[in-house]
Structure 1
């Protein structure tokens, strides 16, 4: 005889549990943990995951089908979205095209007919935003600022290249904002003892040196190339053999790239020149000699610290370049003339082996340094010196020129608001000192025009006799984050035809001083104004959608919001009955057992359905049990278990919780009793699929109201407010996510 509770079946073994093996390696424990997690996920997928995924898929497909209906696609909300698409395309694309198109060369050039000028674009202070720009900003804002400013630079410069297609592009320094702050891989990166960081930046130095080093600077270099090099290369493709020689020069450094004067770190400058080229150079462009001078390094020679410390490594390369400049200019012009004549540009020696005693030195080619002097254009990041208060002219954005007194024809002097401030500070100096400016103009020689950057705003100045009366234009910054509302760039058109044999200009004898260059300031759109237009349109759209949400139930407009039950979702299946929630009961019996708790003979259900029982207390003589106000003459009641006559047959079929059929309701015995019931109004109940609560439903452009007696008035008022709120929220959310998504796509595309 088997023992109690014993079983003849094989013993059941529980699945083995995982116990860590202390003798095993950490890798084995981690692998075992991964295996357990994988098996848990597989088990979840088999038990519940598949059903959840399938239900979610069906619900999504059903909601998609509802949203793809014609009445929802062609709706007022989507009309506003279409309006926003046009506005965003204008603000993020078309306005840049329009602004640059208005600067086309033919709109402002005035050269003789048949002239073929060489066209140059000058770009100043793009100053890519980085962690140095706004060190106190939290994480989400800094990347967003970088994205917005980069897109502005990219769109502006791409339109410059695609529409204007300049022959040459020169950058005037400050390519980066914090280029001098990112630690180099080699060399000493310590601040000099006489030039420590200001107190506001001291707390960030440790993080900057640890996080932002050589690799980060290389990423910034690639970022600069993506914004500026790529459009330039793309613009030069497919031009054919007739394309003019194109040149792009971005080697002129600014104080944000290297630092200024005696605070420059040599490893930082070496890194910059390694990737961008020498800061001091000569370029012959459009029969003009462009001389770029690293004036941020030049200023170290005249600083106070140069008298106390050896700073020759900083300023000597610039001084040596200026000392040999006139000779180098002639060599550059000679090479350019030979290139234009189609000759070999460099001296070449005959390949061969000669005995030392038979070498002839009189047949070796030599460079021609007797070339004529071409008009020279000086490029410097720091503007030349001028007396404090020297006005910059009417094109300066920050402050217009001061109003002239009656009868005065010359600009007001001094005009400190309209002028560049003659001041200096940590790692900057607004203008060169007077001695450096005079020496620079003298050593460069034959300067017909100077162009500078650094100030971010436009400034035109004609210098004094000590600086050879050189006209100078300080070019606006191209960036929207440099304190100017309307950034810009400068276009320069060069026309100086030469006799290729002699190198002399082919100007008319009666016009020996005819200018050889023309300039034009091209202004870009104000991003702040664009964003203000976006905000204004957003407020207008919200107001319009609010008014429409109020008018939907009042005027019977077709609602945009789907009924929460009819929309599918997680509360109802696609085939569920619309208008009735499956979560809450709609009807509830008042009594539990009609055999045990039978109503008195002759009592009518209208005693319970009507608020005033005495008004309908009369006995139903015919025994039909009809309910007044039911809309039909049929009775609707419960009977006893034993039916009496045909009038009670429907009630008997209803059972304990059933309803009487829609028959005549008359019985032979007159014992049919009306079953009381309470109707529970459910939120979202509808008449035809577009209802919004107990207040009625939408049908064919008309809102149908329910019974006005009892609690109907309160329910109706509450449901109307719910309709308004749901309609407002649904339409606003639809417009917001579609507009934000499109704006994000435009930002991602650049």
Structure 2
């Protein structure tokens, strides 16, 4: 028996209230660490450099790895609308966490596909622009040996004319990020970076004058002049084109299965244009004939193929060019999962086959914050609420159960008895008793006086209680404690004959000792009686189950019942550690704060580290 009691005691300690509360705290701290930082590492578990595709072509050359980032759109820290808990701060933290994980891929070069700054075109002060750039470099830190190449976006240098745009935006971008049009050689490839917003502006002027590209005189230092100069410098090296704005395509063109929704459609507005014009796209493809094109701006991923214009100079030249629109690196309402692109290059001379591919790219994704909230945080919050609600309801149920069992006639009798019971057969009545005791010597057998003898209707209705003698426990068969506890509802359809039970008018009894016993217990009112006393609406259903008639009543709580529930008056009060008595709602709120506080501190710490 001792072993059983010890096992039950150990189990009760493991499932105690404090243990469960501590487990919930630990669970939420781990959950916050995982959802706020761990998911970024997990999202890159399947993100690998596409080197195997190049090695499969027979190349033994070590590939050059280029990381492509589109639309980071870093918010301006000086904007008044950005706070530590605002959208700008949330986006900044996401960029920091995403970049801290991406840099573990160890790229050899990084290409930024425009919209580096969210509001760079509105900054008019050079000091403010410099601080803005310092904020960008403070977030996107990388080894100085890794070169960075920047393509201007419409949010960086502007598109079109507006009085709200800074006149020095293009000047500031060139000063701090590099030329808007440039060409570099990397791993035997010609990487061409064009100023797509400037190309759109020049295309508007050309179209307004009604001229074709063949007769158009390019603006000095403009993107059209730059593209033409690249074509003049003949080279056998493959061209990889980088443009912020995607090239033109039919509206029905599919973007492939990796796109979240829809396709890229032509549209334009204040400071933006979704794609280049048809004639501009034809001019770029015909002049450069790129092997592949990488673009941004659209936020979502798109993979499609362009048909290159025919040429008589080289019959064996490629007739198609693949374009990849890279996903936005920053969170956006247009997409659920941000992403980036990995590009691997090998020198054309290292390929075994002369027609083998010299480049390969791979698509990678970052965590979905919306799904994290709906699929992880919200279910965990509901589950925690259920556990805390159960912990705060079960003590009240336990307390009410034993309070109800103690409502026996002996409770009223004991209040009228002296503190020191005399010896005698009836002394066992005044001793303490427990409904859980089941063994021990019996108390003296004494017949009840006729005035208090109660007729028991059936064995099912007997409520048996055990009495404790001063020296041992017992279970008398003829003790006065055999009187049934008056919990039957008078007037209920399921009751037996009321004549079988004590009358409510017998409020006094006389024991053999001559002492009077007052306040004999009375019956509880029936559900129908209680329902008739309520002024609030209620609904009742009667049915027969297992041969007995049952009733279910649903009623709206009264204001007094609500106050009693919140305040836990009477026997339902619970004493807190601070000595105050509060209701279940107070305990539930205290437990919720106790569980949430460590998780909130951890979330704030992670946010502070990445802000």
TM-score when normalising by structure 1: 0.51
Do the aligned residues in 1 keep the contact of 2:188 with 2:237 (CA within 8 Å)?
yes
Q: How many residues align?
A: 422
Q: Tell me, yes or no, if structure 1 residue 373 matches structure 2 residue 236.
A: yes
Residue 322 of structure 1, CA deviation: 2.5
Residue 220 of structure 1, CA deviation: 2.2
The SS at the match of 2:572 is helix
The SS at the match of 1:76 is helix
- Give ranges in structure 1 of 5+ residues lacking alignment: 1-69, 186-213, 237-244, 331-371, 400-418, 498-504, 558-611, 616-626, 635-707
Residue 155 of structure 1, CA deviation: 1.4
Do the aligned residues in 2 keep the contact of 1:476 with 1:487 (CA within 8 Å)?
yes
Aligned with residue 157 of structure 1, among 94, 99, 103 = 99
Alignment RMSD (CA, Å)? 3.7
Q: Tell me, yes or no, if structure 1 residue 517 matches structure 2 residue 359.
A: yes
The SS at the match of 1:82 is helix
Do the aligned residues in 2 keep the contact of 1:299 with 1:432 (CA within 8 Å)?
yes
Q: Give matches, 1:443-462, under 5 Å.
A: 443=287, 445-462=288-305
Q: Tell me, yes or no, if structure 1 residue 147 matches structure 2 residue 2.
A: no
| Structure 1: distance between partners of 2:146 and 2:82 | 40
Residue 161 of structure 1, CA deviation: 0.9
Do the aligned residues in 1 keep the contact of 2:239 with 2:291 (CA within 8 Å)?
yes
Q: Indicate how the Cα distance of structure 1 residues 308 and 466 shifts in structure 2: closer, same or farther if over 3 A, else same.
A: closer
**Other-structure match for 1:76:** 20
Residue 556 of structure 1, CA deviation: 7.2
**Other-structure match for 1:297:** 198
Do the aligned residues in 1 keep the contact of 2:28 with 2:596 (CA within 8 Å)?
no
Instruction: Encode CA deviations 1:253-308: one digit per residue, 9 max, x unaligned.
Output: 10111111455754110011111010111121122110100011012222158747
Q: For the pair shown, which has the larger CA radius of gyration, 1 or 2?
A: 1
- Give ranges in structure 2 of 5+ residues lacking alignment: 1-13, 211-215, 311-318, 401-411, 423-518, 522-567, 576-580
| Structure 2: distance between partners of 1:71 and 1:464 | 69
Q: Indicate how the Cα distance of structure 1 residues 542 and 714 shifts in structure 2: closer, same or farther if over 3 A, else same.
A: closer
Q: Indicate how the Cα distance of structure 1 residues 738 and 142 shifts in structure 2: closer, same or farther if over 3 A, else same.
A: closer
Q: Tell me, yes or no, if structure 1 residue 125 matches structure 2 residue 66.
A: no
The SS at the match of 1:105 is coil
Do the aligned residues in 2 keep the contact of 1:108 with 1:520 (CA within 8 Å)?
no
Q: Tell me, yes or no, if structure 1 residue 741 matches structure 2 residue 601.
A: yes
Residue 722 of structure 1, CA deviation: 3.9
Aligned with residue 389 of structure 1, among 227, 234, 252 = 252
| Structure 2: distance between partners of 1:737 and 1:256 | 40
Aligned with residue 729 of structure 1, among 567, 589, 605 = 589
Do the aligned residues in 2 keep the contact of 1:261 with 1:298 (CA within 8 Å)?
no
Q: Indicate how the Cα distance of structure 1 residues 446 and 107 shifts in structure 2: closer, same or farther if over 3 A, else same.
A: closer
**Other-structure match for 2:379:** 536
Aligned with residue 275 of structure 1, among 165, 169, 176 = 176
The SS at the match of 2:86 is helix
Residue 395 of structure 1, CA deviation: 1.3
Instruction: Encode CA deviations 1:25-69: one digit per residue, 9 max, x unaligned.
Output: xxxxxxxxxxxxxxxxxxxxxxxxxxxxxxxxxxxxxxxxxxxxx
Aligned with residue 318 of structure 1, among 213, 216, 223 = 223
The SS at the match of 1:521 is strand
**Other-structure match for 2:146:** 246
Q: Give matches, 1:264-663, under 5 Å.
A: 266-304=167-205, 307=208, 316-326=221-231, 372-399=235-262, 419-443=263-287, 445-466=288-309, 469-496=320-347, 505-508=349-352, 511-532=353-374, 533-555=376-398, 629=417, 631-632=419-420
Instruction: Encode CA deviations 1:555-611: one digit per residue, 9 max, x unaligned.
Output: 479xxxxxxxxxxxxxxxxxxxxxxxxxxxxxxxxxxxxxxxxxxxxxxxxxxxxxx
Do the aligned residues in 2 keep the contact of 1:384 with 1:432 (CA within 8 Å)?
yes
Residue 326 of structure 1, CA deviation: 4.2
Most deviating of 260-269 and 538-547: 260-269
Q: Looking at both structures, which has the greater relative contact order when contacts are Cα pairs under 8 Å and sequence separation is at least 6?
A: 2
**Other-structure match for 2:40:** 96
